[in-house]
């Protein structure tokens, strides 16, 4: 299968999101035990998933950039981070490199768009920054080819405004210092979760400024079409009911008793987590189990605890429509389910005995209060490669070769699955399917570039933003001085 990489194909839906949802590059490490051991920097680069954005798809030169990240603001192209002296970072000193990945500032002083998750990377230790630098400078082949230039529309074209955003949003932190109240594994887990794997970039919802909301740490975020679930220790809405082994299995393979990884998470597993050591995965699981629980208002049953029972099938009606050549316009969800889904997931929704075809009963995707992951899975399918083996559920959106469904059919189908195998409280409409198909709701800030909005708001808004930022800077400076 040849994936098109010439057009931006993944939407960077929530403004300043990055790596975890746009992973398209091959991970560079292999699980092959006969392969030489990875350097520390190489391993860190996998854990931080650099290649996801900085390698342009399966055919792209390794870490040479050019991967089009379709943000709601426009296409952002990843940069060449090979040690090419002309087009890469070959002339960067360690200090310049550190400023770039921790603070989003290029060697020439220009601000990086926060598609680069420097908020998370700002917590990297000095040793790890140095190891990453060594790896990129000495183990990666220089590619003397420029990555395409990013040209966002005004006002986002003004990179200088980003320093103001950084100050206001407070995304930057300081290098991680171990918490003596916890053991080494917990500390390692927290470091991996918050810094290298940058989980919060997706799983923590964003505030008005599109910065991760500290008060809702890992409580679940919207990623355009997809929903990054609540991964706090809440037993109902989060992963509190998962065993540590469930979590490790899920991270390593994308598959556990309670969930299957799809969409951006499948890519994170494919390109990064499957290559992490068992000790690191165990550390991440141990830490996640201690993340303060945040409940979902109104949710009473755990995502994976719903029962399931198929609806009775009307055979007479099926016989009556024998002369049709299409099921367009069918309003009974179980008819669509039976003919589109049941060949794999089975009439009772419980999948195959070996779990190759997952059960839809007791599955986080169908059990969440928020049905976006279910709708996105139906529209875009599931695609993940682990241990060299590709798992693919085809998509059933308008481009599906297997069976294109329209928005109403997807809604009918999703509601049947939710009502009979998952969370009956959740509901889907044709309109919500259309929104998810189009990449999810646009964040307010993205609408700034639309001409009419721009005309009214842009100049005034920027002035206010600038003044606010200056004021903040003044306050901060005064504090430091004091």
Q: Which span sits near other proteins by CB under 8 A: 221-229, 323-331, 442-450, 474-482?
A: 323-331
Q: Which lies closer to other proteins via its Cβ, residue 101 or residue 379?
A: 379
- Rg of the chain over CA atoms, in angstroms? 23
Minimum distance of other proteins from residue 252's CB (angstroms): 21
Q: Which lies closer to other proteins via its Cβ, residue 186 or residue 357?
A: 357
Q: Which lies closer to other proteins via its Cβ, residue 116 or residue 341?
A: 341
Q: Which of 32, 180, 322, 387 binds other proteins (CB under 8 A)?
A: 322
Q: Which of residues 121-180 bind other proteins (CB under 8 A)?
A: none
Residue 355 carries which DSSP code? Answer: S
- H/E run at residue 417: helix 407-421
Question: Quick check: 339 binds other proteins (CB under 8 A)?
Answer: yes
As to burial, measured by CB atoms within 10 angstroms (0-12 exposed, 13-18 middle, 19+ buried), residue 179 is: exposed
271 in a labelled binding site? no
Minimum distance of other proteins from residue 380's CB (angstroms): 10
Question: Quick check: 344 binds other proteins (CB under 8 A)?
Answer: yes
Minimum distance of other proteins from residue 401's CB (angstroms): 5
Beta strands in 196-297 (DSSP E): 221-223, 226-228
Cα torsion angle, 111, 46, 183, 220, sign: positive
Contact 75, 69 (CB under 8 A): yes
Q: Which lies closer to other proteins via its Cβ, residue 134 or residue 338?
A: 338
Rounded to 5°, the CA angle 279-283-284 comes to 120
What's the rounded Cα separation, in Å, for the pair 56 and 62?
Answer: 8
In this structure, what token pair is assigned to residue 431? 């309109």
341 in a labelled binding site? yes
Question: Quick check: 338 binds other proteins (CB under 8 A)?
Answer: yes
Q: Which lies closer to other proteins via its Cβ, residue 319 or residue 478?
A: 319
Q: Which span sits near other proteins by CB under 8 A: 136-144, 178-186, 334-342, 435-443?
A: 334-342
Question: Quick check: 318 binds other proteins (CB under 8 A)?
Answer: yes
- Which residues have CB under 8 Å from 331's CB, separation 6+? 412
Between 1 and 20, how does the x/- string for binding to other proteins read (CB under 8 A)? x-------------------
- H/E run at residue 188: helix 184-191
Q: Which lies closer to other proteins via its Cβ, residue 35 or residue 316?
A: 316
Residue that has been written with the tokens 């085809």 in this structure: 394
Minimum distance of other proteins from residue 417's CB (angstroms): 15
Question: What b/e string do you get for 245-262 counting C-beta neighbours within 10 Å, with b at 16 or more?
Answer: ebbbbbbbbbbbebbbbb
Q: Which lies closer to other proteins via its Cβ, residue 402 or residue 470?
A: 402
Name the β-bridge partners of 76.
69
389 in a labelled binding site? no
Question: Quick check: 348 binds other proteins (CB under 8 A)?
Answer: no
Minimum distance of other proteins from residue 222's CB (angstroms): 26
What's the rounded Cα separation, in Å, for the pair 72 and 447?
Answer: 8
What's the rounded Cα separation, in Å, for the pair 347 and 334?
Answer: 9
Backbone torsions φ then ψ of 382, nearest 5 degrees: -130, 135
Minimum distance of other proteins from residue 413's CB (angstroms): 10
Q: Which lies closer to other proteins via its Cβ, residue 258 or residue 345?
A: 345
Q: Which of 335, 360, 426, 448 binds other proteins (CB under 8 A)?
A: 335
Contact 7, 77 (CB under 8 A): no
- Which residues have CB under 8 Å from 131's CB, separation 6+? 39, 40, 41, 44
Residue 244 has a CB neighbour count (10 Å cut-off) of 14
Q: Which of residues 368-427 bind other proteins (CB under 8 A)?
A: 381, 383, 390-395, 399-404
Q: Which of residues 207-236 bind other proteins (CB under 8 A)?
A: none
Minimum distance of other proteins from residue 420's CB (angstroms): 18
Q: Which span sits near other proteins by CB under 8 A: 82-90, 304-312, 332-340, 444-452?
A: 332-340
53 in a labelled binding site? yes
In this structure, what token pair is assigned to residue 403? 């069976």
Tell which phi-psi region holds residue 381, choosing left (phi > 0), alpha (psi between -120 and 50) or beta: left
Q: Which lies closer to other proteins via its Cβ, residue 222 or residue 383?
A: 383
30 in a labelled binding site? no
Report how far apart, in Å, the C-alpha atoms of 53 and of each of 21, 23, 73, 289 are. 9, 6, 17, 29
Q: Which lies closer to other proteins via its Cβ, residue 266 or residue 448?
A: 266
- H/E run at residue 70: strand 68-71
> Which residues carry a binding-site annotation for heme c?
50, 53-54, 199, 202-203, 341, 344-345
Contacts to other proteins by CB under 8 A:
1, 315, 318-319, 321-328, 335-336, 338-340, 343-344, 356-357, 381, 383, 390-395, 399-404
Annotated binding site: 50, 53-54, 199, 202-203, 341, 344-345
């Amino acid at each position: 299968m040849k994936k098109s990489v010439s057009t931006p194909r993944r939407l960077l839906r929530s403004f300043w999101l990055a790596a975890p949802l746009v992973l398209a590059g091959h991970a560079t490490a292999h699980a092959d035990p006969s392969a030489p051991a990875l350097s520390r920097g190489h391993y860190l680069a996998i854990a931080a998933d650099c290649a996801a954005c900085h390698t342009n798809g399966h055919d792209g030169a390794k870490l040479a950039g050019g991967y089009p990240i379709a943000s709601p603001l426009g296409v952002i192209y990843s940069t060449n981070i090979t040690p090419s002296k002309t087009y890469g970072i070959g002339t960067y000193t360690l200090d310049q490199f550190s400023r770039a990945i921790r603070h989003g500032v290029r060697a020439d002083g220009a601000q990086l768009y926060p598609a680069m998750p420097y908020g998370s990377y700002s917590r990297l230790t000095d040793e790890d920054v140095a190891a990453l630098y060594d790896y990129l400078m000495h183990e990666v082949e220089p590619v003397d080819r420029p990555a395409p230039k990013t040209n966002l529309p005004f006002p986002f074209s003004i990179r200088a405004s980003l320093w103001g955003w950084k100050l206001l949003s407070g995304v930057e932190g300081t290098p991680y210092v171990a918490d003596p109240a916890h053991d080494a594994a917990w500390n390692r887990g927290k470091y991996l979760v918050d810094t290298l794997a940058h989980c919060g970039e997706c799983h923590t919802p964003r505030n008005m400024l599109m910065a991760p909301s500290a008060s809702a740490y890992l409580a679940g975020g919207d990623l355009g079409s997809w929903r990054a679930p609540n991964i706090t220790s809440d037993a109902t809405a989060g992963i509190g009911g998962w065993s540590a082994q469930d979590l490790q299995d899920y991270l390593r393979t994308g598959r556990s008793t309670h969930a299957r990884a799809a969409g951006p998470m499948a890519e994170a597993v494919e390109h990064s987590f499957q290559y992490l050591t068992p000790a690191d995965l165990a550390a991440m699981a141990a830490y996640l189990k201690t993340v303060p629980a945040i409940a979902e208002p109104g949710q009473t049953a755990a995502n994976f605890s719903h029962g399931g029972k198929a609806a009775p099938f009307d055979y007479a009606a099926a016989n009556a429509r024998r002369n049709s050549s299409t099921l367009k316009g069918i309003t009974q969800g179980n008819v669509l389910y039976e003919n589109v889904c049941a060949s794999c997931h089975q009439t009772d929704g419980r999948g195959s005995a070996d779990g190759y075809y997952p059960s839809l009963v007791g599955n986080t995707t169908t059990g969440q209060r928020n049905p976006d992951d279910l709708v996105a899975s139906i529209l875009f399918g599931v695609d993940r490669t682990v241990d060299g083996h590709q798992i693919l559920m085809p998509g059933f959106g308008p481009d599906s070769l297997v069976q294109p469904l329209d928005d109403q059919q997807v809604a009918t189908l999703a509601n049947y699955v939710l009502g009979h195998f998952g969370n009956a409280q959740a509901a889907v409409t044709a309109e919500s399917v259309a929104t998810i198909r189009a990449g999810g709701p646009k964040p307010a800030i993205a609408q700034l570039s639309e001409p009419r909005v721009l005309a009214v708001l842009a100049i005034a808004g920027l002035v206010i933003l600038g003044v606010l930022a200056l004021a903040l800077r003044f306050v901060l400076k005064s504090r430091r001085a004091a």
